[in-house]
Structure 1
Amino acid sequence: MRYLHSDLFPSLLEKAGCSLLISTYQAGQLIAVGVAEGRLSFSFRRFDQAMGLALGPDRLAVGGKEEVWSLRAYPDIAPAIDPAGRFDQCWLPRSSTVTGAIQCHELAWGATETGEPDLWIVNTLFSCLASLDNCYSFVPRWRPPFISELAAQDRCHLNGLAMRDGSPAFVTVMASTDEARGWRAVRNDSGAVIDVASGEPVTTGLSMPHSPRWHDDTLFVLNSGLGRLERLDPATGSREPVAAVPGYARGLAIYRGLAFVGLSRIRETAIFGGAPIAAHPEELKCGIGVIELASGSTVATLQFANGVEEIFDVQVVPGIRCPTLGSAPDRGSEVWVLPSKGAWCRP
């Protein structure tokens, strides 16, 4: 995998005091990006068809082809991982829940009355929001009012979720259809953002929208088929372009006035070929664009030159300088976590 970045990308992460987690559906990789000694640091771990990411204080959920993975954070052992002293956070897989191939798109942690984390799943195949249960493939919890039944038919391509105050607030769909894969026939100008509480559309006419986000009392959305980040007023439905990006926009994280936007080249022409942004495929990039929200300017970029064709999700990791996923492919190393010796050693 080869990459290139603008001169400001490493220093921008350092100044913002954060690092990034990136999922790549096509390449099947979870990527942790940080900064060590002024240079970008990358850590990789393989997850088949890695899609949505949900980051919590001590855990990370990763949506995959047929399961949702649960990773735990181990900040205490991170500095000991080779090369010693480089890393300040480490996530390691601990378990997974088999869902079957539900086309699990975005994930988000919610809040419960007991304080326990509540994982919400965008179940695209069944056109609903769902949660996990050890006894079932998934538990349906909400679906758009125009979806008449729970069926494995990807009727509207429900794909994005914005949380507000610990609960689902807005979702994105590619079309408000109730037919099996009906969104594919009208996807280029039929996208909508839907209010979860009322079930009513907030705005319509988007081109393949993704990644709605509620930030500082403002709703943002990626108008993916046009390659735009937009600001949306839920009260009026009006949209204001924030910035244009050179790629199919999918995956959005906002932190300290900066929007980290995932960019993809278009592979599947049967699905994405008619998108307006596909008119100039030679101009499309794969990577991360960093946009200053106040000005709409792109202030830094990270581009994958090969090995990765599309980005699915992006998460900011606040307060972490250089994270690792526990493996060092070039050294052939692996990390095991055991209880302290006193917990298991008997005379």
Structure 2
Amino acid sequence: MSNDKPGADGVETIAPENRNVPTDVAPTAAAEAGKIDISFSPGLSSFLKTNDISIGFTSYQTGRLYLIGHGSDGKLAMHEAVYPQAMGVTGDASRIYLGTLTQIVRMENVLGPGQTANQVHDKVYVPRNLQTTGNVDIHEIGIQDNGKIVFVNTRFNCLCEPSLTHSFKPVWKPEFISEIVAEDRCHLNGLAMVDGKPKYVSAAARSNVANGWRDRRDDGGLIIDVESNAILAEGLSMPHSPRFHDDRLWLLNSGTGELGWLDPADRRFVPLVFFPGFLRGLAFHNDHAFVTLSKPRKGHFEGLALDGLLKEKDSTAWCGIQIVSQSTGKLAQWLRFEGAITELFDICVLPGVQNPITLGPNSVEIRDFLTIEPSAI
């Protein structure tokens, strides 16, 4: 089953007053970034309201964390904050974790029940801890049952925990990786948590040489069981974002533009739906899958089946979000970027959140946005 490109009928755009642009970027830098147009399906705001959720997603290309919610006026609300090379993101109503170029950021919601900011925002996520890792190419992040962070260290081909004294602490690597060195050998990129533990990872290839995965982008991809080290699936094309949901191991076969799951009987990838773009982020809420799509960096997806599939379907590549039913694959809602932004990365669903906002660590607002923890004195 495939998604057809949504038509123009009923398309809405985000008005400037409902799009909070960060104030931590100089005007010249903002101008150089170019114009960005945002359109979305007419039912997206009501969909978020009905499901009592907001969405967070990242773009490493523009260095932004985006939050999408819904206002009391029924309009879609969007907020963005600057975080260099924003990538892996996970969160809930109380907290958001984000991987950036050199740090793992923990943001805390500082509003209590019933409180609002500017009379419209029910959550304000403020960066309270920024732990420096250096440039290790952080991809996805998981939170373990003991509260510790685990993240995909793509540059060093391993799963890691943050260290109090060093850049990171390796906790697992694929058996075919011989040593922990700064060589992106297999392009380890995705992480699925199960019961508070890292359980499945995705990689672009089994390579044990620097950048060896680049020669196997079309069919070298694999899914690995972290606990047993067993390779559960091979022959995939640039797989990303494994997720365990409703007793299925889901993943994005990015090189073919497909969302699907692994059949446990024969370890075969079963595609559910085709998307017109390169896929990197996946989240679930109830029956719906939330997927981020990106355009190609050089005009086309060299060496990937996705190029031919787009031509076959007479479609152009997207940058944006599509929300589909996991039971039918049918498109439910969407949001699309045009202009200067062409690539997104990760996405998370924030249950119980209506209209969130976050403050970038270098923003003007954060200097004077002060809160005090209740005390007995």
SS of the residue corresponding to residue 188 of structure 2 reads coil
- Structure 2 distance, partners of 1:130, 1:10, is 37
Q: What letter corresponds to residue 67 of structure 2 in structure 1?
A: A
Matched, 1:92 2:126: yes
Q: Tell me the CA shift for residue 74 of structure 1.
A: 1.7
The 8 Å contact of residues 93 and 350 in structure 2, kept in 1 or not, is answered as no
SS of the residue corresponding to residue 15 of structure 1 reads helix
Cross-structure match for 1:14: 49
- Name the CA shift for 1:332/1:47 in 2 (closer, same or farther; >3 Å): closer
- Structure 2 distance, partners of 1:78, 1:60, is 20
Cross-structure match for 1:53: 89
How does the TM-score come out when normalised to structure 1? 0.91
Deviations 1:91-148 (A, max 9, x none): 0112211111100000011112xxxx11111000000000001211000000000001
Cross-structure match for 2:163: 133
- Name the CA shift for 1:210/1:340 in 2 (closer, same or farther; >3 Å): closer
- Structure 2 distance, partners of 1:180, 1:32, is 36
- Structure 2 distance, partners of 1:311, 1:28, is 10
Gapped regions of structure 1 (runs ≥ 5): none
Query: Of 265, 268, 275, which residue of structure 1 is paired with 2:304?
Result: 275
- Name the CA shift for 1:94/1:88 in 2 (closer, same or farther; >3 Å): same
- Structure 2 distance, partners of 1:101, 1:78, is 39
- Name the CA shift for 1:119/1:87 in 2 (closer, same or farther; >3 Å): same
Matched, 1:65 2:94: no
Gapped regions of structure 2 (runs ≥ 5): 1-35
Matches within 5 A, 1:139-178: 139-178=169-208
Q: What letter corresponds to residue 58 of structure 1 in structure 2?
A: S
- Name the CA shift for 1:268/1:152 in 2 (closer, same or farther; >3 Å): farther
- Structure 2 distance, partners of 1:159, 1:192, is 11
SS of the residue corresponding to residue 301 of structure 1 reads strand
The 8 Å contact of residues 81 and 326 in structure 1, kept in 2 or not, is answered as no
Q: Tell me the CA shift for residue 49 of structure 1.
A: 0.3
- Structure 2 distance, partners of 1:342, 1:241, is 54
Cross-structure match for 2:275: 245
- Name the CA shift for 1:78/1:135 in 2 (closer, same or farther; >3 Å): farther
- Structure 2 distance, partners of 1:276, 1:178, is 24
Matches within 5 A, 1:24-43: 24-36=59-71, 37-43=73-79
Query: Of 320, 331, 349, which residue of structure 2 is paired with 1:316?
Result: 349
Q: How many correspondences in the alignment?
A: 335
Cross-structure match for 1:194: 224
How does the TM-score come out when normalised to structure 2? 0.84
- Name the CA shift for 1:211/1:233 in 2 (closer, same or farther; >3 Å): same
Deviations 1:164-222 (A, max 9, x none): 11111110000011111100111111101111111121111111010000011111000
Deviations 1:5-53 (A, max 9, x none): 1112111111111110011010100001001121110111100000001
- Structure 1 distance, partners of 2:149, 2:195, is 14
Cross-structure match for 2:5: none
Identity %: 35
- Structure 2 distance, partners of 1:332, 1:77, is 26
Matched, 1:215 2:249: no
SS of the residue corresponding to residue 2 of structure 1 reads strand
- Structure 2 distance, partners of 1:343, 1:269, is 61
SS of the residue corresponding to residue 255 of structure 2 reads helix
Q: What letter corresponds to residue 226 of structure 1 in structure 2?
A: T
- Structure 2 distance, partners of 1:342, 1:169, is 40
Q: What letter corresponds to residue 108 of structure 2 in structure 1?
A: R
The 8 Å contact of residues 266 and 278 in structure 1, kept in 2 or not, is answered as no
SS of the residue corresponding to residue 159 of structure 1 reads strand
SS of the residue corresponding to residue 143 of structure 2 reads strand
- Name the CA shift for 1:308/1:101 in 2 (closer, same or farther; >3 Å): same
